[in-house]
Amino acid sequence: MSKFITSIKLQEATEKDYAILSQELKKYLFTPVNKSVSSKSSESASAFVFNSDNDKSLLDTTTAVSRAAATTGRKFSFTVIRDKAKTDHK
C-alpha cells in the first residue's frame, strides 16, 4: 500500500464548496497540504492539494476523492500521484 498526493479542481466553485470538499476528504483521512495551487491555464481555477494519511490502494484513494468531490454538486477533476517519500519498502 502507498500514500498519495491528490490535486482537485472544482468547476465554478465557491469557498464554501471547497470547505465542503475539505470536510468530506477529512472523513477519508486526507489532510490539506496548502490552501491552493494556481492553475497555469488561462482559467482562474485553483487546485487544492491533499495528502492521504493512511496506507490505501490507488482504487480506494480515487474512490474516496470522487465521493468527496461529488458531495459538492460541482463538476470536478483530480490527479492522484503516489508519494514516494511516504511509501513503505517492506
3-state DSSP assignment of residue 32: strand
Q: What is this structure's pTM?
A: 0.79
Helix runs in the chain, H state only: 15-27, 58-70
Compute the distance between CA of residue 34 and CA of residue 37 in angstroms, rounded to an integer: 8
Place of cell 472523513: 27
35 or 20, which is more confident? 20
The residues that bridge with 49 in the sheet, in sequence order, are 7, 34
Give the architecture-level CATH label for domain 4-84: 2-Layer Sandwich (3.30)
Whether residue 3 has pLDDT greater than 60: yes
Residue-level pLDDT at 88: 54
pLDDT 10s digits, 26-76: 999 999 986 555 545 434 457 899 999 788 899 999 999 999 999 999 999
Q: Domain residue spans in the chain?
A: 4-84
